[in-house]
Chain A
Amino acid sequence: MKRSSLYQMAVLTAATALFTITALCAQATSTGAQQFDPLAFPGNVVDDVVVPVPSEVFSVLDKLGEPNWRQELRKLDLPKTADRTKLALMFGMVVAEGFVAVQAEDKEEVKDIGREVIDLATALGLVKSVRPHAQAILDAADKEDWKSIRKEFDLTQKTVRDSMEQMKDVDLSQCVSMGGWLRGTASVTSVVTKNFSADRAELLNQPMLVEHFISTINKMGSSMKEHVVVSDITKGLATILSRMEGAVDGFSKDSVRDIGKTCDSLLNGIKAAK
């Protein structure tokens, strides 16, 4: 028994020493700019992923040209449903549409989206926490205060996700993020396809986010994972990931178009009545 403990201690000490030496070596190679080796990382990894809001990408597209954002707006034609999975996906989608409307500086569209946010929050039973943000969006739209509207859309999405997580609905909260990412990415592909350049297309290099969504779905409960829309999203994300991983020398116009088509098809599935 004692010998076994001593052996375990020796192994642990050797492993710790090896780990420390590896970490020190990683630091020692740094001359000038520091080098970092994730495989020799002597610490903990924070698993949480903060998904960028669409306006993070849109702001770069604005710097690279002047996209016609009004052309990118899509009519909100959402079915009435009690399916919470679809409602959560639609919520993310609508908030992302809000970011497109802000980019287009379309006051009336922002207001329509603000009202849609209230309807969806009501259907999800979260209207109490969402209403102040939705009202702030409507008020800021009257003043054409685009900065505040952008902030409120971000806050709205965070509030809904936090409320879902407090109610132990982590899977639903992830659906909000996925719906938003799909709508945002569809807009980016549409803008890039209309005015293709390598710099614009590079904005689609987001494999870590796609892997995160795939892994999130894999961890979901079976009823959620087997939901027809979620199951389609899993397949669609795999297609998108293969396009991103295949773009070693940059994205071609065709690969951008393919990613866009996949996103559009998944969004249509979310919006479908059944």
Chain B
Amino acid sequence: MYLSTRSILQSAALVAAAFITLSAALSHATVDDAHGFAMEAAMPFVEQGFIVREDYWNGEVKTGQKLMIKHQMFKGNEYAFWLGTANEGVTFELKVYDENKKEITIDAKSSGAFASIRVNPPKTGTYTIVFSLTSKKETGLYWALAYGYR
């Protein structure tokens, strides 16, 4: 009886430890993880000849909050943008607008922890990237936005 209680206690301790470790891992979801998912989204594009930039944007944002980034693009290149998050159950919105405020996004896709789009800039100049992440579970979401060109 004593042994059985002790083994129950040991099992409980193990389960608790595993739970704490898992919770810690989940609560430590970071922008690095978000960037990891953005890079996962980039993989099929790399196979198609896209060169991935090492610099990227990242941060934490409230669910549903829209963010805007200005970015220089060059006519003649094709660009791909990859938005990743470290949080689960997120839906994405990711669009690019030209200086005439017209959307020029093509081939938007999203799956699990990332979304991707492609852009063929009609002119060389400044473009506006608008995106948001929405979650029913969490209020603060980690994100990373990377890009590549070919």
Contact = CB atoms under 8 A, between A and B. Distances in A.
A203 interface: yes
Interface stretch (B3-11, B20-28, B119-127): B119-127
A63 B70 CA distance: 25
Contacts of B126: 207-208
A41 B66 contact: yes
A248 to B, nearest CB: 12
A42 B36 CA distance: 28
B100 to A, nearest CB: 9
B68 A41 contact: yes
B137 interface: no
Contacts of B132: 43
A64 B124 CA distance: 14
B53 A203 contact: no
Contacts of B70: 49, 208
Contacts of B68: 38, 41, 43-46
B54 A151 contact: yes
B46 to A, nearest CB: 10
Contact of A37 (B51, B74, B101): B101
Interface string B113-144: 00000000001111010101000000000000
B23 to A, nearest CB: 28
A206 interface: yes
A28 to B, nearest CB: 14
A60 interface: yes
B76 A154 contact: no
A48 B72 CA distance: 12
Interface in A27-80: 30, 33-38, 41-46, 48-53, 55-57, 59-60, 63-64
B149 A59 contact: yes
B19 interface: no
Given A34-B103, A36-B130, A56-B149, A205 B125 contact: yes
A50 B126 CA distance: 12
A34 B14 CA distance: 54
Contacts of A51: 55, 72
A50 B103 contact: no
Interface of B: 51-57, 59, 61, 65-72, 74-77, 95, 97, 101-103, 123-126, 128, 130, 132, 147, 149-150
14 contacts: A38-B68, A43-B65, A43-B67, A44-B66, A44-B68, A49-B70, A53-B53, A57-B74, A59-B51, A154-B53, A199-B76, A203-B124, A208-B72, A208-B125
